[in-house]
Amino acid sequence: MLSFTAVLSLTSLACSVLQGVALEVPDERLIGWKGETHHTNGESCRDDNDNCEDWAENKECERNPAFMEKTCRLSCKVCVGPASTPQAFPMTDEGREVGQLHLNTGTLMPTIGFGTAGMGCGLSKRAVTSALKAGYRHIDTAQAHEWYCEEKVGEAIAASGIPREDLFIVTKQHPRDHGFERTKEMFQSSLTNLHTDYIDLMHLHYPQCWGTLCAGSQPSGTWRDAWRALEELYHAGQVRALGVSNFSPQELSQLLEIATVRPAVVQSHSDPLRPNWELQRMCKEEGIVFTAYSSLGTQHGFSRPNPVLNSPVIKAVGEGVSKSPAQVVLRWALDHNQVVIPRSTNPEHIKQNLQLGFSLSEADLAKIDALGS
CATH of the domain at 290: 3.20.20.100
Instruction: Identify whether residues 194 and 342 lie together within a single domain.
Output: yes
Instruction: Identify whether residues 141 and 282 lie together within a single domain.
Output: yes
Name 6's Cβ contacts closer than 8 Å, sequence gap at least 6.
Answer: 17, 65, 66, 69, 70, 78, 106, 107, 240
Confidence of residue 47 (pLDDT cuts 50, 70, 90): confident
- pLDDT at position 243 is 98
Using DSSP's 3-state secondary structure scheme, residue 364 falls into helix
Which amino acid would we find at residue 294?
S
Instruction: Identify whether residues 284 and 348 lie together within a single domain.
Output: yes
Residue where a domain stops, chosen among 68, 85, 102: 85
- How far are the Cα atoms of 1, 5, 359 from residue 353, in angstroms, in the given order? 33, 28, 15
Q: Is the pLDDT of residue 326 over 90?
A: yes
- pLDDT at position 77 is 67
DSSP 75: T
Q: Is the pLDDT of residue 241 over 90?
A: yes
Percent of the chain scored above 90 by pLDDT? Answer: 67
Percent of the chain scored above 70 by pLDDT? Answer: 81
DSSP 137: -
Q: Which domain holds residue 52?
A: 1-85
Instruction: Identify whether residues 35 and 157 lie together within a single domain.
Output: no
- pLDDT tens profile 159-210: 999 999 999 999 999 999 999 999 999 999 999 999 999 999 999 999 998 8
Q: Is the pLDDT of residue 39 over 60?
A: no
Instruction: Identify whether residues 15 and 114 lie together within a single domain.
Output: no
CA gap 218, 282 in Å, rounded:
31
Instruction: Identify whether residues 112 and 165 lie together within a single domain.
Output: yes
- pLDDT tens profile 83-123: 223 344 554 444 445 789 999 999 999 999 999 999 989 99
Paired residues of 126 in beta bridges: none
126 vs 55, which has greater pLDDT?
126
CA nearest to 116, candidates 169, 164, 158, 165: 169
Instruction: Identify whether residues 203 and 70 lie together within a single domain.
Output: no
Quote the mean pLDDT of the chain: 83
CA nearest to 103, candidates 275, 253, 239, 247: 239
Name 305's Cβ contacts closer than 8 Å, sequence gap at least 6.
Answer: none
Instruction: Identify whether residues 173 and 297 lie together within a single domain.
Output: yes
Confidence of residue 79 (pLDDT cuts 50, 70, 90): low
What's the average model confidence in pLDDT over 40-62? 69
pTM score? 0.76
Instruction: Identify whether residues 97 and 59 lie together within a single domain.
Output: no
Instruction: Identify whether residues 10 and 124 lie together within a single domain.
Output: no
DSSP 147: T
DSSP 30: S
- Number of compact structural domains in the chain: 2
Residue where a domain stops, chosen among 65, 85, 105: 85
- Chain mean position to CA 323: 26
Instruction: Identify whether residues 72 and 98 lie together within a single domain.
Output: no
CA gap 30, 39 in Å, rounded:
7
Instruction: Identify whether residues 26 and 161 lie together within a single domain.
Output: no
Contact by Cβ (8 Å): 138, 122: no
DSSP 306: -
Residue where a domain stops, chosen among 85, 102, 120: 85
Contact by Cβ (8 Å): 114, 350: yes
What's the average model confidence in pLDDT over 132-156? 96
